[in-house]
Amino acid sequence: MNIDPEKFTELGISAIREMSEVAKRNGQQEVEVWHLLSALMAQENGIVPALLEEMGIGTAPIQLALQRELKNLPKIAGDVNTARSYASAPLTEAVEKGQQISQDMQDDYISTEHLLLGLAAVGKPATFKQFLKNFELSEKKIKETLTNWGQLCSLANHHMGSTPPFTPVRRLISCQESEPDESTLSMFSKSKSSGGGCSCC
């Protein structure tokens, strides 16, 4: 899978970059769906935290539960070299799904809500699927909240005379300058030396 930074919003590409740092801080070489979700949750003034507040969930309980899950993931001895980090198969599938969802929604760029929807739609591994279920983070519920949120924003902007109507998905521009480093982009084409993991073109 190829990651084109110009197709992502600034927050979207920031989450892609940050997830490998989350893995590094936790002593993990393999970057997994848990790391991406953690990166999305940690974005101040980001769409995902605001979305979760709108859903009545909030980020605090999810982040607390995420920390427990991250501690249980396999760790390597010594320091993690991010240049040798690689994406798990579920993570690769989720990011690809997020890109597809962005196209299906006819959005210009891939943003953090698309990545969240990708994680929810794929729901792998089984422990991650159950984790999302515990917090009622289903693809359907996320989409419904985004739709209602967009309608409210459009209505508010209509009364304020805003043209075109504001929608959360399109309020961010693509990131032309804050690109991830090469190690982040290449992790999606790496596989475990033992033959497992994900190998994408």
pLDDT tens figures, 70-119: 999 999 887 877 778 899 999 999 999 999 999 999 999 999 999 999 99
Give bridge partners of residue 9 from the DSSP assignment.
174
Q: Domain holding 47: CATH number?
A: 1.10.1780.10
Neighbours of 58 (CB within 10 A): 14
Residues 23-32 have a mean pLDDT of: 94
* Mean pLDDT score across all residues of the chain: 80
CA 113 to chain CA centroid, Å, is 7
* Domain contains 182: yes
* Domain contains 197: no
158-194: string of b/e by CB count within 10 Å (b at 16+)? eeeeeeeebbbbeebebbeeebbeeebbbbbbbeeee
* Domain contains 196: no
* Domain contains 138: yes
For residues 10 and 177, give the distance between their C-alpha atoms in angstroms, rounded to a whole number. 9
The answer to whether the CB of 16 falls within 8 A of the CB of 178 is no
For residues 135 and 141, give the distance between their C-alpha atoms in angstroms, rounded to a whole number. 11
User: Two tokens at 154?
Assistant: 């459009």
Per-residue pLDDT, 78: 79
* Domain contains 119: yes
pLDDT surpassing 60 at residue 168 = no
Q: What is the pLDDT of residues 121-146, one digit of tens each?
A: 999 999 999 999 999 999 999 999 99
CA 63 to chain CA centroid, Å, is 14
User: Two tokens at 99?
Assistant: 């890109």
What's the pLDDT band for 181 if we cut at 50, 70, 90? low
* Domain carrying residue 183: 5-189
* Domain contains 63: yes
Cα–Cα distances in angstroms (integers) from residue 133 to residues 37, 44, 111, 187, 188, in the given order: 14, 24, 22, 28, 27
Least Cα distance to 38 among 53, 27, 49, 30 occurs for 49
What is the domain count for the chain?
A: 1
For residues 154 and 133, give the distance between their C-alpha atoms in angstroms, rounded to a whole number. 30
* Domain contains 26: yes
